[in-house]
Amino acid sequence: MGSTGSVGIQALQIIEEQHDYFQAEVLTGFDNSKLLIQQAIKFQPNVVVIGNDNHYKEVFDALDSLDIQVYSGEKAIEQVLEMDTIDMVLLAIVGFNALKPLLVALENKKPIALANKESLVVAGQIISERALESGTKIIPVDSEHSAIFQSLMGEFNNPIQKIVLTASGGPFLNLGINELETVTVKQALNHPNWDMGDKVSIDSATMMNKGFEAIAAKWLFDLNPEQIEVVLHPQSIVHSFVYFSDASVKAQFSVSDMRIPIQFALAYPNRLKNNLEQLDLLKIAKMDFAKIDTEKFSNLALAFEALKLGGNIPCVLNASNEIAVKAFLSGRIGFMQIGKIVEQSIQMFSAISKPTLNDLFETDFEARIKAEEIINR
């Protein structure tokens, strides 16, 4: 799901290299029809879905001579998840749009390699409950969540004292707060360690991405907000720490390459040999850790505030952030306005303590409208 995005592209590299173990059964994309066609020709899935109906004819015509079924529309993306031939779903759709496919995958009891944080930010409680009811395993693909997941392997019921997520600091680690007022889109997209899509890159630059990871971690690992911390770690070598009650600490180290957690999720519980770069600690020589300036990275503080408020407020956080990031990418607002728009949006909502799915869809819709109104003032 989302094969034309950054995670999807890297996942297909893993599938190609590990062809004895994996086969792409279904590929879905939304707008990037040309890349989806190229992927379909190369990987020969049984089904391809292009989310944007306007691209259906182009994709159908290009694949008509091949034994590949082509569908279009967001509903088709959900419907293909009912296929018996699917053994695992890699959910790499960006943003709120991943929520419905995730719920459908849970309903159909498909194991999920989850590369989307926003769905858990918006509806973590509902997702957790449905995963438990269906007995469906969710394996995190995000590098920090994967690190926690791996550190907890073999721990059974040993209680977690706390987890610590690491943050690289992104492209603006060494800039002062006043300098951030004039940064460009190009600068914000230039992450020093990770190769990511535009939206995730901007979230990383504002540190909202790390806030989303904190909220998602609550639901993935059944934690209280007080058990989650974030520290700066510019080298992006240690991807997370888990502290236990006996004063032991476990962590997962690797080079900054998303293919490592992607392959781990696809092959779990096995570790497959690959040709990816091995970590050389002598070459790194040192690793730094520091406290995060939440005045400079105010989005992280906003995310923790939303985490503590709970209910539908994280949904407001996500929706208003999606609108603000889109506005920044299109040049309508400055970098530092992203957090201000999110903050003002949150202030316009009263919390619903235990929202239904309908409540969340309504909140998402209203929050997007309010964020646009703030931008247009």
Write out the DSSP string of 155-193: -TTPPEEEEEEEE--GGGTTS-TTGGGG--HHHHH--SS
Residue-wise pLDDT for 122-180, tens only, equals 999 999 999 999 999 999 999 999 999 999 999 988 999 999 999 998 899 889 999 99
In this structure, the answer to whether residues 154 and 302 fall within a common structural domain is yes
Same domain, 292 and 324: no
pLDDT tier for residue 191 given thresholds of 50, 70 and 90: confident
Ordered DSSP codes for 36-65 = HHHHHHHH--SEEEESSGGGHHHHHHHHTT
* 177 in the same domain as 62: no
Say whether both 285 and 336 belong to one domain: no
- pLDDT for res 189: 92
Query: Residue 197 — very low, low, confident or very high, per pLDDT cuts 50/70/90?
Result: confident
- The answer on pLDDT for 194 being more than 90 is no
Q: 211 and 111, same structural domain?
A: no
The span from the CA of 376 to the CA of 210, in Å, is: 28
167 and 303 share a domain? yes
108 and 232 co-located in one domain: no
The verdict on 29 and 72 lying in the same domain is yes
Residue 37 CA to residue 15 CA, distance in Å, equals 17
Q: Which of 244, 221, 223, 225 is nearest to 148 (CA)?
A: 221
Q: What strands lie across the sheet with 112-114, from one edge to the other?
A: 89-91, 112-114, 138-140
- 272 falls within a domain: no
Terminal Cα distance for the chain, rounded = 37
At residue 245, does pLDDT exceed 90?
yes
Question: Which residues constitute the domain of residue 355?
Answer: 310-377
Residues 304 and 159 in one domain: yes
ω into 45 cis (within 30 of 0)? no
- The verdict on residue 107 lying in a domain is yes
Q: Look at residue 266 and tell me if it is in a domain.
A: no
> What is the chain's mean pLDDT, rounded?
95
Question: Does one domain contain both 18 and 68?
Answer: yes
Task: Give pTM, 2 decimals.
Answer: 0.94
3-state class (DSSP) for residue 348: coil
User: Residue 105: its pLDDT value, please?
Assistant: 97
Checking if the pLDDT of 192 tops 80, the result is no
**Residue 285: left if φ>0, alpha if ψ -120 to 50, beta else—which one?**
left
- Residue 271 in any domain: the answer is no
Mean pLDDT, rounded, for 303-320: 97
pLDDT above 90 as % of the chain? 93
Q: What is the CATH number of the domain that holds 23?
A: 3.40.50.720
Burial class of residue 246, CB neighbours in 10 A (0-12, 13-18, 19+) = exposed
314: in domain = yes
State which of 140, 164, 189 marks the end of a domain: 140
pLDDT tens figures, 1-38: 999 999 999 999 999 999 999 999 999 999 999 999 99
The alpha-helical segments, DSSP class H, found in 167-312 are 185-189, 198-206, 208-221, 259-267, 281-284, 298-309
pLDDT digits (tens, 9 = 90+) for 62-114: 999 999 999 999 999 999 999 999 999 999 998 899 999 999 999 999 999 99
Specify if 81 maps to a domain.
Answer: yes
Among 121, 140, 159, residue at a domain's last position: 140
- The tally of domains found in the chain comes to 3
In this structure, the answer to whether residues 363 and 281 fall within a common structural domain is no
> Which residue, of 89, 108, 140, is where some domain finishes?
140
